[in-house]
Structure 1
Amino acid sequence: MDQTAAHKLVFAMLDADGDGIVSREEYTARTRNVAQAMGLEEDDQLVVTARNLGERAWASMDADGDGKMTFDQYTAWAGAEAFDTVCAPVLGALFDLADTDHDGSLDLGEFTALRTALNNPATNAEAAFTALDANGDGRIGRDDYIASIRAHVTGEGSPMGRALYSRQLSDIPS
């Protein structure tokens, strides 16, 4: 899958209402959705950290400050540098919210709760977990999780990414 196709799939996941625009509310709701899925309170320090990192990410994505991001704006912003400096910390913080036993890894239930809270279908989450759990121990580490999403977003290819975002590109608005 090339980088443009990967961007279309990620953008469609971020665009929760499917209107072709990712709003500030859609993006920042990600932290709230994961916190709620994991039964965490808004004032939990992990939630506060994730929310702050999400706000920082949104400020970086919404370069013109209008509270909206189009696909073209997303593709102009997205890439390896943006992933490494902005997205990876947010994804790590969201991972930490889902890591209920704080062991640095997610089991299938935690992973599925995380990804469905982030707008992926549960069946895709299960397939993505299986693809990423290469050693079959039933756990996915934080670094492997982030590296797999990075590989997907940068167009390098990721078995987890392919499973997680397995929507037909023809179903995604141009």
Structure 2
Amino acid sequence: MQKRKIGRVFEALDRNADGLLEETDFAALTERWAELGDVGPGSPEHVRLIVVMMGWWRTLLAASAGTALDTVTMDDVLGVIDDLGELRNPVTATATTLFDAVDEDGDGLVTATEYRRMIEAWSGRSTDTDEVFPLLDLDGDGLLSRAEFAELWTDFWAGDDPRSPGNWVFGRFELPVPQYQ
């Protein structure tokens, strides 16, 4: 299941579709997210986004095993993902940073429109999120609170429960068919 859900994220990051992530992929994503909340260059929010996103790049690069110079494969990403259960604090800190970028009006809540813009910034293309947002709205109020977002984000990256709503943070994907023996 992790490979399916992370695969969608990897493909969106891999701008030239060569099966490798590069530092420029992370820098481009950081800038797309900075544009969401109109975070100006040099502002504390912009610096925080850069520190968080490029920190993940350095983590992935350090974990890369025998890949081409300065690139990361899907297997490298999955290797880091396997350890995220023990790294909940950095995952939650990332969620907080991205929540602030996504919360365009700064009201402490993410609307369905703000969520759609986040997904579009991630993928770089227009995306319909009308079906997914209600699955993420854990309390059914039509908004994502900072706590809901952090829980969903952490479940996406560090969880492996196929029933978790966090699986849908970056959109729907086909769940693996259970293998019974």
Q: How does the TM-score come out when normalised to structure 1?
A: 0.80
Number of the residue aligned with 2:168? 162
- 1:60-105, Cα deviation, whole Å (9 max, x unpaired): 1111684311011111111333652433322321210121332322
Aligned to 2:178: none
CA contact (8 A) 1:95 1:114 kept: no
Per the TM alignment, residue 49 of structure 1 is displaced from its structure 2 partner at its CA by: 0.8
Q: CA RMSD in A?
A: 2.6
Aligned twin of 1:31: 30
* Structure 1 residue 73 corresponds to structure 2 residue 72: no
CA distance in 1, matches of 2:45, 2:26: 18
Aligned to 2:129: 125
Which among 98, 117, 136 is matched to residue 94 of structure 1? 98
Unpaired runs of at least 5, structure 1: 170-174
State the match for 1:138 in structure 2: 142
SS in 1 for 2:141: coil
Distance 2:94 2:53 in 1: 6
* Structure with higher RCO (Cα < 8 A, 6+ apart): 1
Q: How does 1:5-24 map to 2 (within 5 A)?
A: 5-24=4-23
- Aligned residue pairs, count: 168
Q: TM-score, normalised by structure 2?
A: 0.77
Query: Which whole-Å deviations, capped at 9, do the CAs of 1:3-23 have from their partners, x for residues lacking one?
Result: 232232332232233221111
Of structures 1 and 2, the larger Rg is shown by 2
Residue 34 of structure 2 contacts residue 49 of structure 2 at CA under 8 Å; is this kept in 1? Answer: no
Task: Say if 1:33 and 1:118, in contact at 8 Å, map to a contact too.
Answer: yes
Tell me which amino acid in the other structure corresponds to 2:76: Q
